[in-house]
C-alpha cells in the first residue's frame, strides 16, 4: 500500500491541508508517499476504464484552469506538452460567457445545457489560432480570450439595437467555436504524430459538444477517442490514485516527505 497526493493544482492553497495530511501516517506505517502531477492525473484516469494507455497516445486536458495537449509515450514517465492555452482555459471562457448571458456561476454547465436548445451555426464566432499563419508557431496552442470578447461585443451590439439577445443561439454558437478549435487542433496533432489513441480528460471533458464532436471526428480519422465517465471528469481522488498506481508499477522512487504544492510544475514532471 502507498499514499498518493496530487501536485500542480490550479488553486494551490486548496491542497495545502490535503498534501499535509498523509505525511504523518506513511513513515510509521511503512507506506511510501508519492506526489504526482494533478493535470497528468486527468489523463491517467482513463486507465481505470480502459486499462493501460497504449504507448504513443495523445491527451487533451481541458478544465477551468487548464487547456493542454499532451503527447503521452508513458503516462508514468514520459509526457510532453505540445501546446496549451495562451490566455483563458476552455472552462474559464465558458464561465465568463455564462456571466455575460446572466447565467448562474459556474456558467459552464449552464451554457452547455442552453447550447443544446440553440443553433450552433447562428453566429459566426472566430476560431483563434487556426489560420495558416498560426500553423507553424501556434499549431497546438489555444486562445479563448478573443472569442469571449467577440461574444461580449455581439451581445452589446444586439442590446444597443434594441433586439432581444437570442441566448440559446449565442450559447450554441460559442460552444461550437470552442469545441471546433479544441477538436481540430487535437485531431491534427494525432495525425501529424502518428497517434491512434486520444484521451480527453478534465472538468470540461463533460461538455456535450466537445464529447460529441471529438467522437465524430475521431471516428472519421480512425482515432480511438476515449472520454471518461462524467464522475471522473472533475477533480477526484481516483485520477490521482490511477496515476500513482502507474508510477508505482514503473518502479519510480517514492517522494520525500517534505514535498509541497507546486502550481508551476512542468507537465513533463509526472512525479517528484
Neighbouring C-beta atoms of residue 22, cutoff 10 Å: 17
State yes or no: pLDDT of 30 exceeds 80: no
What are the pLDDT digits (tens) for 133-182?
A: 998 899 999 999 999 999 999 999 999 999 999 999 999 999 999 999 99
How many angstroms separate the Cα of 191 from the Cα of each of 221, 222, 243?
Answer: 8, 10, 26
| Separation between Cα atoms, residue 144 and residue 178, nearest integer Å | 8
What are the pLDDT digits (tens) for 79-93?
A: 999 999 999 999 999
What is the structure's pLDDT at 82?
98
Q: Which three cell numbers stand for residue 103?
A: 447565467
Cis peptide before 14 (omega within 30 of 0): no
What are the pLDDT digits (tens) for 33-70?
A: 899 999 999 999 999 999 999 999 999 999 999 999 99
Per-residue pLDDT band for 27 (boundaries 50, 70, 90) equals low
Contact 49, 61 (CB under 8 A): no
Q: What are the boundaries of each domain within the chain?
A: 1-39+236-272, 46-235
What is the structure's pLDDT at 16?
47
Residue 22 has, within 13 A of its CA and on its CB side, a CA count of 21
> In the CATH hierarchy, which top-level class contains the domain 46-235?
alpha beta
What is the structure's pLDDT at 1?
42
* Average pLDDT value for the chain: 91
For 75, which DSSP code?
T
Amino acid at each position: 500500500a502507498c499514499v498518493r497526493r496530487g501536485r500542480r493544482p490550479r488553486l494551490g492553497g486548496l491542497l495545502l491541508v490535503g498534501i499535509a495530511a498523509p505525511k504523518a501516517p506513511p513513515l510509521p506505517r511503512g507506506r511510501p508517499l508519492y506526489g504526482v502531477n494533478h493535470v497528468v492525473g486527468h489523463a491517467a484516469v482513463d486507465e481505470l476504464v480502459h486499462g493501460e494507455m497504449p504507448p504513443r497516445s495523445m491527451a487533451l486536458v481541458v478544465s477551468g484552469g487548464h487547456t493542454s495537449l499532451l503527447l503521452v509515450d508513458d503516462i508514468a514517465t514520459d509526457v510532453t506538452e505540445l501546446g496549451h492555452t495562451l490566455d483563458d482555459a476552455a472552462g474559464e471562457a465558458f464561465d465568463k460567457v455564462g456571466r455575460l448571458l446572466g447565467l448562474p456561476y459556474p456558467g459552464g454547465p449552464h451554457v452547455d445545457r442552453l447550447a443544446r436548445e440553440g443553433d450552433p451555426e447562428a453566429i459566426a464566432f472566430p476560431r483563434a489560432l487556426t489560420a495558416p499563419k498560426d500553423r507553424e508557431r501556434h499549431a497546438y496552442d489555444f486562445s479563448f480570450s478573443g472569442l469571449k470578447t467577440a461574444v461580449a461585443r455581439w451581445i452589446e451590439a444586439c442590446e444597443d439595437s434594441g433586439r432581444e439577445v437570442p441566448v440559446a443561439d449565442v450559447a450554441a454558437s460559442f460552444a461550437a467555436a470552442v469545441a471546433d478549435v479544441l477538436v481540430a487542433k487535437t485531431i491534427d496533432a494525432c495525425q501529424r504524430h502518428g497517434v491512434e489513441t486520444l484521451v480527453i480528460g478534465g472538468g470540461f471533458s463533460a461538455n456535450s459538444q466537445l464529447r460529441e464532436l471529438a467522437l465524430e471526428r475521431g471516428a472519421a480519422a480512425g482515432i480511438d477517442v476515449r472520454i471518461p465517465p462524467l464522475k471522473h471528469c472533475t477533480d477526484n481522488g481516483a485520477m490521482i490514485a490511477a496515476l500513482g498506481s502507474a508510477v508505482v508499477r514503473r518502479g519510480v522512487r517514492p517522494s520525500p516527505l517534505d514535498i509541497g504544492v507546486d502550481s508551476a510544475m512542468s507537465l513533463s514532471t509526472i512525479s517528484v
